[in-house]
Amino acid sequence: MSLNTINETSTSEAIIRSQQLNSEVQTILNKAILGEELSVDEACVLFATEGEEAQAVLAAADQVREQRVGNTGSFVVTRNINFTNVCYMGCRFCNFATEKGSKDAEFLTVEQVADRAEEAWQRGATEVCIQGGLHPDIDANYYRNLVIAVKKRVPEIHIHAFSPFEIWYGCKKARLEPEVFLSELKALGLGSMPGTAAEILDTEVRKQLTKNKLTTEEWVRIIRAAHSVGVPTTSTIMYGHVDQPIHWANHLKLLRDIQKDTGGFTEFVPLGFIHYETRLYKDNPDKVRPGPTRDEHFKMHAIARLMLQGHIDNIQASWVKMGPDVAAQMLRSGANDLGGTLMNESISRAAGATHGQEVMPEDMVANIEAAGLSAIQRNTKYQTVRDYTQDPVQPNRIAIQGVA
């Protein structure tokens, strides 16, 4: 049976209490609904469910989502700025990177990045998400100068920038410890960091994906450093390639453990592997899966909600990876956020994603309301910018183009 969004006409409680459920699954879901912590083994049991039991997992996640964050779905108006597609790291799952001398190579100046940030602000964005490849010409001051240029041009915009891999690279260039480097960036205007480059936080899996160039320990070290100096981050997982449910469950537990210590994660974002143009898949089609199944998408968001509840309570569904319609269905399967309206998104498209670069705010609102939730535009820190129950979309209103 293919997993679907929870039908509002059937209550999640009835599904969970079904006599046809395996007693172990029933016990685990009851624990989750009561707010008790699930173990790695229990998460693996839930990942293995099928049919009615899998539907019960989604129902429990929907119930816990309502308990933790209410019946609202959110999104942010932001812009993705990929300042360079040149990267020498050679991660096999990535088709975004190119060589320095390639005709397709791009490396924006800090003023060009500031131009794009200013344009985003003028169009209503509250945030810019800035990331790029590890270009060999990046010097010790590039990341600092980039933040300075954007803040000088658009003082009020929130800068959400630099993955842990970029921070690792910047620290090498500047010969600074992560805490010092991040403190400097924060003082200049860095507001938060994307917790990307996590992939799967398992050494053996990372060796197959990236040759372990940024180890699990290094990723955790930089994330903890960011949190320690007051720079919040997102958290992510990239699943559906050479990984298994045990890796997913351990990854979720590690994120939960970090959050218990630091409280610095703002959200969790599951990112399905886009396989089409990647070397990882093309070189090993018999060993590498072509991304997650539809069922795995639903279970990942649902089980993340159950495992992370009370610690990371914002679960984001990526419409770039799954498409707007499927992402909206995740709002009744554990997720409560649809991420950002997009422009110039390059990384997923380079890997072969078929979904567009941009969804308008009015489309976000429509998708959230179609899921039976109230729509809210938020900022990076999940504070309400606009409540659409109080200020609804007007029929002939021209939507502002945002970008994340």
Say whether 333 counts as a known binding-site residue: no
The domains located in the chain, with CATH, are 4-69 (no CATH), 72-387 (3.20.20.70)
Q: Which pLDDT score is estimated for 240?
A: 85
Using DSSP bridges, classify how beta strands 72-82 and 265-272 pair: parallel, antiparallel or unpaired: unpaired
Distances (CA, A) of 148 to 36, 131, 155, 222, 403: 44, 15, 10, 22, 21
Contact 155, 163 (CB under 8 A): no
184 known ligand binder: no
Run of H or E including 60? helix 51-69
**Interstrand relation of 72-82 and 374-378 (parallel, antiparallel or unpaired):** parallel
What are the residue ranges in the chain where pLDDT is below 70? 1-19, 89-97, 211-212, 274-288, 342-357, 395-404
- pLDDT given for residue 351 in this prediction: 38
* CB-count burial class (<10 Å; 0-12, 13-18, 19+) for 123: middle
**How many other CB atoms sit within 10 Å of the CB of residue 359?**
25
Q: Is 318 annotated as a binding residue?
A: yes
Q: Report pLDDT for 12.
A: 55
94 annotated ligand binder? yes
Tally the residues of the chain.
Answer: 404
91 among annotated binding-site residues? yes
At 73 the pLDDT is: 98
CA angle 349, 353, 355 (to 5 degrees): 95
